[in-house]
Amino acid sequence: MRRNKKDRQKKLKDIIEVNPFITDEDLSNQLSVSIQTIRLDRLELSIPELRERIKNVATQQLEDVKSLRVDEIIGEVIDIQLNDSAISIFDVKQEHVFSRNGIARGHHLFAQANSLAVAVINDDLALTAKSNLVFLKPAKLGDRIVAKAKIIEDEPETRRKTVEVNGFVENEHIFEGTFEMYHRSQQ
């Protein structure tokens, strides 16, 4: 069903309000219009592109991260609740894959998971004491990996927290891991 421009733009705005991390391609599919039409509508409505929307949502939350600088986090943090949970996205590009098969090299996925586990700790010093990461499925060139971290255990007397991190491409679970984190303060 074709919508008129005004209705389509209202629907576009409503969808982005609910999910600010939706891609232009997904919007195009949902609204049954071209990606170019989506881009023109966003421009007319002063809605920034996906990367800008992500940065806008995360910028304020990231100002409170003590354990590392924002530019040291692998991937883009889109949500963080210090001492609780965090989410980041990582787009697999040519420089992240093996040239012969287009599969992402594991150290990039580990770096995304580990830096997210460090970032969620609300302390100026957070170090990985132990980690266990299991790759369930390969990530490929062009995939967008969403990593979700959650503190599942806190032992103030030993200054250790256990962070569970899971990675997904769309709804496919591609890695799971636990990170035992040492931190300086007894929170």
Per-domain residue ranges of the chain: 5-47, 61-183
Predicted pLDDT of residue 22: 85
2 sits in which H/E element: none
Predicted pLDDT of residue 31: 93
Predicted pLDDT of residue 61: 57
Name the architecture of domain 5-47: Orthogonal Bundle (1.10)
Could you please state the CATH topology (level 3) that the domain comprising 61-183 is classified under. Answer: Thiol Ester Dehydrase; Chain A (3.10.129)
- Bridge partners (DSSP) of residue 153 are 162
Q: How many CA atoms lie within 13 A of 32 on its CB side?
A: 5
- Those residues of the chain that have pLDDT short of 50 are none
Predicted pLDDT of residue 48: 83
pTM attached to this predicted model: 0.69
Predicted pLDDT of residue 112: 96
State whether the Cα torsion 162-71-166-14 is positive or negative.
positive
Predicted pLDDT of residue 36: 94
Predicted pLDDT of residue 102: 96
Predicted pLDDT of residue 62: 60
